[in-house]
Chains A and B, each alone.
Chain A
Amino acid sequence: MTEQDAYVAWMAREAKRPVAVDPMAVERVMARVRLEPRPRRRGAGWRWLVEPRALPLSPALGAALAAGLVGIGAFLGHMQNDRGGQNPAGRSPTVAPQPPLASHDTIIKFVLVAPHAATVSVVGDFNDWDAQATPMKRTPTGGTWSVAIPLRPGRHVYAFVVNGANGGTQWVADPMAPLAPEDGLGAPNSVVLVGGSAS
């Protein structure tokens, strides 16, 4: 082992040392948790509907997949009673006003063209970046994936998780939506503005 390699190993060893933790930290977490409603497991029928299933498609993911990705980022509904269904002009190029409904949430439809993908899901701050939480459905014509979900008013950051038939996974930004500011980690994210409040 060279001196340099030993230095790397030493750094990893040192970084692995436990850190001092506030003994009340767990209690602070639990104090907030106790204010939350009880989480419920999704039913078997729901799981069957949303569980991603691999489709036997071409194994050529990589470049072919990247080349084939075309995001549409279309949005279906806008249903804010307090705004009468009107979206402030110029706030977001991809949110279209729809008839007002009984909630402040807005139904947003995410669409991505990924003809070589086996499964696609949308992840974002609205689902804790959980790649299994919001799977997208392939359209009958094959190459387009979509899902419609309710989002609260505000600014949401999201990305698509594209799984290829060969098991490869890629996170991709929506090519048709504004990019989120660089997070310093190189992960491509997009932004959608729902309603009027955004920063």
Chain B
Amino acid sequence: MSEDAADVQRVLSGDVDAYAKLVDRYYDRCARFAIRMLGNRDDAEDALQSTFLRAYRALGRYQERDRFSAWLYRILVNQCRSIAARRSHRERVFVREEALLLNAPDKRPAWSGEDEEFVQRVLNELDPLLREAFLLKYVEELSYEEMAALTGAGVSALKMRVKRACDRLRERWERIRDD
């Protein structure tokens, strides 16, 4: 039995504190995905709180044959989608303001590698569907089969989204280089 499955078992046996170990084990990784996906910490915090709360409520349905991390990620991905849908109006305003910023020539050195805000801004430029696929593939390093189980999309569609995300980033590099 894996460490995760053992902790789940302890929670279901009444040891609530065992759930803190699961939360502690996965919080940072989930936080990275939520922040990269949603683009701001407030929404990410909402997504994380509701993800771990919903996972706790649904723990009795967790099947040991599944990886706990994959099961948890499925909830997280959907919470991020729900929050993205709820803030759709705010997002449109945000995107419009962001567009003003992005229209300014991007003269900063793209390779400095030290500006998280810059990376987030580039990720925000991607369509959410492409951003999600890019993050799951290259940041969370999931297989396409795992991604399919999380997102409900087919493997070929996911491969296409990852390719398009990479294409967008390549195009962006060319724009920066040409400026």
Binds B, one of A28-36, A83-91, A104-112, A137-145: A28-36
- Segment of A19-27, A69-77, A95-103 in the binding face: A19-27
Q: Is the CB of A7 within 8 A of B48?
A: no
Q: Is the CB of B154 within 8 A of A11?
A: no
Minimum CB–CB distance for A83 against chain B, Å: 27
- Give the shortest distance, in Å, between B8 (CB) and chain A (any CB): 9
**Cβ B27 vs Cβ A33 within 8 A:** no
Tell me the chain A residues, 158-199 only, with Cβ under 8 Å from chain B. 159, 161, 168-171, 180-187
**Cβ contact within 8 Å between A26 and B27:** yes
Size category of the binding interface on chain A: 35 or more
Checking A19, A22, A184 against B32 with a beta-carbon cut-off of 8 angstroms, the contacting residue is A19
Chain A residues with Cβ under 8 A from B61's Cβ?
A: 42, 130, 132-133
What is the bound-complex CA distance between A131 and B116, given in angstroms? 35
Contact across chains for A187 and B170 when beta carbons are under 8 A apart: no
Q: Smallest CB–CB gap between A160 and chain B, Å? A: 10
Check if B152 sits within 8 Å of A42, measured CB to CB: no
Contact A26 B60 (CB under 8 A): no
Q: Which residues of B contact A128 (CB under 8 A)?
A: 54-55, 57-58, 75, 78
Q: Tell me if A39 is interfacial: C-beta within 8 Å of chain B.
A: yes
* Residues of chain B within 8 A of A12, CB atoms compared: 134, 138-139
Which chain A residue has the least Cβ–Cβ distance from B135? A15
* Chain A contacts to B: CB under 8 angstroms: 3-5, 7-8, 10-19, 21-22, 25-26, 28-30, 32-34, 36, 38-42, 125, 127-133, 157, 159, 161, 168-171, 180-187
New contact pairs (8) apart from A130-B58, A187-B81, CB-CB < 8 Å: A4-B170, A25-B45, A26-B24, A26-B27, A36-B57, A38-B14, A40-B60, A171-B152
19 A-B pairs whose Cβ atoms sit less than 8 Å apart in the complex: A7-B173, A8-B173, A10-B113, A14-B116, A16-B32, A19-B32, A25-B27, A25-B31, A26-B27, A29-B52, A30-B23, A33-B16, A33-B19, A38-B16, A39-B12, A42-B60, A132-B63, A168-B154, A187-B152
